[in-house]
Every structure is written in structure tokens, then in C-alpha cells.
Amino acid sequence: MPRVRILVAVAIVAAAAMFSLSGNWPWPRVRETVHIAEAPPPPPPTHVESADTLHSGETLSELLDRNGIMAADLSGLAQTLDPRRLRAGLVFNFRKPIADSIPDRMTVRTSPEQRVLMVRAANGWDTEVETIAWEPQVFTVSGTINHSLYEALDRQVSDSILGGGAREHLAWALAEVYQWAVDFTRDTRTGDHFNVVMERLVSEEGDVRFGRVLASELSINGRDLPAYRFDGHFFDDEGNSLKRAFLRAPVEFRRISSNFSRARFHPVLGRTRKHEGTDYAANTGTPVMAAGDGTVIRAGRNGGYGNMVEIRHRNGITTRYAHLSRIQTRVGARVTQGQQIGKVGSTGLASGPHLHYEFRVNGVAKDSRRVELGNGAPVEKSKRGAFEAEREILQRLLDGSPEPDSAQPALVAQAASRT
């Protein structure tokens, strides 16, 4: 057999030599020639770039004056730059020819999607509005939750995928997806797990921001909670909407999430002898939302409850929101789920600012976090097929395999090793 091996080896070398000589090497090759030449001296700069920031109380023409654009006709600019959007801190970039004292070009980013450009023309300035393109990129991120969702995402999603601020947006978005299923202020336990397919947006200038949650698998306190985005809403494996008649927590996660990385929410703060609700410690002024659609039946002082709102819902259910610093509804008002009805405070018998929330069925207090809310509405029959196709793609992405036949190449990365 050794002779056969030698023959094979010789044949390979000969074939390689032929390919090489004929210049028809069948595979792309690394370029070997490196041209070492004296780099020509860079051409002298023709322009100087500078940036300036709009100070508080300053007008646009004051800023332009300071940068050499004096008495410019700003009528074109005024049409595109909404004065109400001209907030302090807005950064203007100028380009000035070396041989000139006046810039010939000015740009300002007025929003993530828009840039206003001023170019010096023969007589005055031309103003143009440019749209900044953001390209979506898809990532799968996963990890364990030890203290809170926010802390977990902040610690385990790498900076190369999303910056700190954008990770906070991801946490808010996830909390929103599960707002009917999970009370993130208290339901999470050590060992919980997240696996999320998310979209980030990258601008042509290289800025990165959070886009959308596309799918997610959370394992929270022993419950597996899949979610697939379809038609702008989220559905479970069976195609039932995640939306329910009641929110799990009637306080905005995003308004309290900043506390999350440092201190976990702890139940009261002065537990009374007979405590029939759930307490959410939050800063005074944090918005309080109606947990479900209903009619306000009480709005005012109520003894130890302090400022209290009570809402009557369908099926004999009522909810109470107590210790409010402000009430933002009135008796008889119809409210919808998520609508702001007041602000967290410490009125009545409260040792510190918190929301006391009660969920009652036919007058009997229930644990709002344990109440069975039934199934959400299913995907419309006519859209069932489309949903299943979408779910399959998203499941593959959750598993970490790139989406096949995608028009837009999906970029998949594991933010953290699965444990």
C-alpha cells in the first residue's frame, strides 16, 4: 500500500504544479507580493473640521455667528430645523476651507434618522435634509438571570453587540413583551434564563442602537415562556397572544429599572397586620398604570390607603392603587390598560414611597401575581400559516443557527455561554 500512497502524493503535487504554472489555481489565494514603496506625502489639508454645541438659552443664529456664519439667510434652515427640536446640547459640525474665514458646510443631526446639511452657495446657503439609513442586524443573546433582568442583560450582553444605554432599552422591551406574564420586579429567581433574538440598528456612521425584540425564551421561576413576534404582537408556541386582560405589575418597569442593578425590590416597608396586596417600592412620582380596562369607582382619600384609585373591571374584578402622591383620573372615568392613573407616593399609612396594589375578585383579595389570566387570543385563522412559518425561522434563530434563505444575512452571536 505505501506505493499507492506515494503515487497519490506525486499525482497531487504534479497537479498542483500544473495549476500553479498555468495560473489556474482553483482556489482563491492569499496575495503574497507586498509592494513596499515610499508613501507619497499626504496632500496638505484643504479644510478644517470643527464641532460646536448649542448652549442652553442660545439661538441658532448666535451659534452660527460664533462659527463665522454671520447674517446667513436662515429661512431655509428654519423650515427644516423645527425650533422646538433645537435643544441645548445639539452638536453642529463645520467644515471651513483653509484659505477662508467662513465655513462652506455645516451639518447637524436633528434626530437619529435625520441630518440637516447647509452648504454655502454663490448667493447664500442651500439647505438639504438627509435621511440617515439604519441597517438592522439580528443577534441571539442568552445568559442567566441572578438578580434582575436588567442586571443580567447588562452583565451578559457584550459591549460589541449593544452599548450600556441600548442594553437598558432591550430590558425595557423584554419587560414589555412579558408585561402580562411576569412581574419582573419580584418574580425572577437565581438560575432563571434568557435567550433572546433581537435586532440592533447600525447607522451609516457606525452608531448602534437597540431595534426590536423578535423572539425570546425566558425561563422564570420554573416557567418556560416563549414569545414570537408576528404582525407587531407577541405569541406563544401555540399562537396565542401574550396579551391578557391584566398587567402583572401596574408600575412602569422602565421607570424603576435604574434601581434594579443596585437594589432588588423588596416587599414592604411596614407590613400591616392584615396585608392584602402587593407593594412596589418606587420613587415618588413614578407613573402608576391601570392594570386592565375598566371604570374608576373611587378616586380620593381613603384612610390608611391615603390617595387611592379603585377600578371596576369585568367579571367582578376590582383593583386598588394606594398611597398615591397624585391622582390623575376621576370617579366615573373609563380607563384602558396601561393608562396612567396616578403617581407613586406615601400618603396614608406608608413608611416610604411605594405603590400598594390590590386585586380583588368579588371583593376577596387575591395574589395579583398568581391569578390565572387564561389564554390570550389566538392568531387569526387566515394568518395561521404565516405565523407558523415565521415561528420556525425565529425558533432556528433562538437555537443559534442562522436564518436560511434570508434576504438580509442574519448575524448571529452568542452573547454569553449557555449555562
Residue ranges in contact with Zn ion by CB under 5 A: 277, 279, 356
Q: Which is nearer to Zn ion, 155 or 366 (CB)?
A: 366
Contact 199, 141 (CB under 8 A): no
CB of 211 to Zn ion, least distance (A): 38
CB of 305 to Zn ion, least distance (A): 9
Please give the grid coordinates belonging to residue 181: 406574564
Measured at CB, which residue is nearest to Zn ion? 356
CB of 181 to Zn ion, least distance (A): 23
d(C-alpha 354, C-alpha 61), whole Å: 47
CB of 267 to Zn ion, least distance (A): 8
Cα 100 to Cα 43, 47, 69, 122, 214, distances in angstroms: 18, 9, 12, 15, 51
CB of 286 to Zn ion, least distance (A): 15
Q: Which is nearer to Zn ion, 165 or 270 (CB)?
A: 270
CB of 285 to Zn ion, least distance (A): 18
Going by C-alpha positions, the residue among 201, 194, 193, 232 that lies closest to residue 138 is: 201
SS3 371: coil
Contact 247, 180 (CB under 8 A): yes
Q: Which is nearer to Zn ion, 72 or 288 (CB)?
A: 288
The separation between CA 109 and the C-alpha centre of its own chain, rounded to angstroms, equals 21
Going by C-alpha positions, the residue among 410, 413, 408, 399 that lies closest to residue 161 is: 413
Q: Which is nearer to Zn ion, 245 or 268 (CB)?
A: 268
According to DSSP, the residues that pair with 216 across neighbouring strands are 196, 227
CB of 359 to Zn ion, least distance (A): 12
Cα 204 to Cα 135, 166, 201, 297, distances in angstroms: 8, 18, 10, 53
Q: Which is nearer to Zn ion, 277 or 345 (CB)?
A: 277
Contact 76, 106 (CB under 8 A): no
* Cβ neighbours of 134 (radius 10 Å): 18
Q: Which is nearer to Zn ion, 147 or 369 (CB)?
A: 369
CB of 266 to Zn ion, least distance (A): 12
Contact 355, 250 (CB under 8 A): yes
Phi-psi region of 117 (alpha: psi -120 to 50; beta: other; left: phi over 0): beta
Q: Which is nearer to Zn ion, 183 or 279 (CB)?
A: 279
Q: Which is nearer to Zn ion, 96 or 248 (CB)?
A: 248
Residues 82, 83, 88, 93: is their CA dihedral positive or negative?
positive
Going by C-alpha positions, the residue among 113, 239, 255 that lies closest to residue 171 is: 255
